[in-house]
Amino acid sequence: MYRKLRQQWLLMPILVMLMFSGSFLFTKNHQVKVYYVKTTVRTTEAAFSAVPVKHVTKSLVELGKMDEINKFVLFLNQIPNCGAEVLIFLLQKMQGPNNYRHVRLKGGTNRSLTRIEQEEFVNDVYRVMRDEAVPLSLDRQLHFVNFTSFDKQSPTFINLIREPADKALSRSFYNNKQSDSDDLIQCLIQEKTNCSGAKINPHHLTVPYFCGHDPKCLRNNQWALQTAKNNVEKYYPVVGVLEELNATLEVLEHEIPYYFKGVENMYKKKMIDTFNRKKSKQPQATTRKRLKRILAKEYDFYNWVKRRLFKQLQMLYGDHGAH
């Protein structure tokens, strides 16, 4: 009799944990069993813990064969000068109606981290998840982090990219720093007569944000490009394109409704005037042509992402047609 009662006690925190671990646990019953069997020691701990919610964030091994990607944590690893402010503003506006919290992670300007720094970042994200204990969206300027390699469930990544020459122009417009004087892109944009000694500063490229923290990601080569594409396919259900914001919002609303339901209406109501962007100074056609050549990998990535977005939009209309 006593034993039975004790077992029921032990089950209580498990139920509480399951409630907070997301609906995927309910939809796949066999995985719940795996979870239970694998964590008997921990559940005993949990029984004596005042805050069972703290045990929600398990490592992948503990979770068993659960989804590698957490649908209830969204991460916008924003890229400077690509208009991510629009998405952040919208994510903040949609918190109330869609019942999640948006947290802006601090991290300074260093977007390429060592292994140890990445681990600290992963732990930071998990600490915020525990503290908030609700569906979250996060943003920080940072290259893609492979949570799987830290044995952790990955957030759902999203991002917004921009036409490469326009992005470079916008950079040159907003931060005309001395340190950029040997950057080939800046040199071309400023239409100096002699750019032969200048090199591309890889920190100003878009591909590394999707490639990751491997030093090879900063080499502006085929490997970095392909790694970036692979990561997009695996971890980013949507990568938006600033020049196609309507299509981006439509696809976001359809693919990630938990966060973006109603976002198109919100955008029309609140922002269409606010975000009428200033056109930056346009360079000569020859400068643009040169930029296109030296940013070939960036253009390859940009056009690939754009095709993917339109494919998603097309599927969406296909769906509408079927109804």
- Least separation in angstroms between residue 228's CB and ligand NAG is 10
Of the candidates 148, 190, 280, 287, which one interacts with ligand NAG according to CB under 6 A?
148
* Under 8 Å between Cβ of 100 and 75: no
Q: Kindly state whether residue 23 participates in binding ligand NAG, applying the rule CB under 6 A.
A: no
Give the residue with the Cβ less far from ligand NAG, 40 or 246.
Answer: 246
Which residue reads 């790694």 in tokens?
A: 227
Contacts (Cβ under 8 Å, ≥6 apart) of 211 = 143, 144, 217, 224, 225, 227, 228, 231
| Gap between the Cα atoms of 233 and 115, Å rounded | 23
Q: Kindly state whether residue 196 participates in binding ligand NAG, applying the rule CB under 6 A.
A: yes
- Least separation in angstroms between residue 20's CB and ligand NAG is 26
- Least separation in angstroms between residue 19's CB and ligand NAG is 29
Q: Kindly state whether residue 197 participates in binding ligand NAG, applying the rule CB under 6 A.
A: yes
CB atoms near residue 201 (< 10 Å): 15
Q: Kindly state whether residue 265 participates in binding ligand NAG, applying the rule CB under 6 A.
A: no
Q: Kindly state whether residue 60 participates in binding ligand NAG, applying the rule CB under 6 A.
A: no
Q: Kindly state whether residue 230 participates in binding ligand NAG, applying the rule CB under 6 A.
A: yes
Give the residue with the Cβ less far from ligand NAG, 178 or 194.
Answer: 194
Phi/psi at 101 (nearest 5 deg)?
A: -125, 140
Q: What's the DSSP call for residue 74?
A: E
Of the candidates 146, 201, 280, 287, which one interacts with ligand NAG according to CB under 6 A?
146
Listed as own residue / partner, the contacts of 270-273 with beta carbons closer than 8 Å and 24 or more positions apart are 270/93, 271/86, 271/89, 271/90
Q: Kindly state whether residue 269 participates in binding ligand NAG, applying the rule CB under 6 A.
A: no
Q: Kindly state whether residue 112 participates in binding ligand NAG, applying the rule CB under 6 A.
A: yes
H/E stretch holding 241 reads strand 238-241
CA 122 to chain CA centroid, nearest Å: 13
Give the residue with the Cβ less far from ligand NAG, 242 or 295.
Answer: 242
Comparing CA positions, the residue from 72, 75, 100, 233 lying closest to residue 157 is 75
- Least separation in angstroms between residue 10's CB and ligand NAG is 33
Output the six-digit token pair for 37.
Answer: 């069997």
Of the candidates 33, 65, 199, 268, which one interacts with ligand NAG according to CB under 6 A?
268
Footprint of ligand NAG (CB under 6 A): 110, 112-114, 117, 146, 148-149, 194, 196-198, 230-231, 246, 268
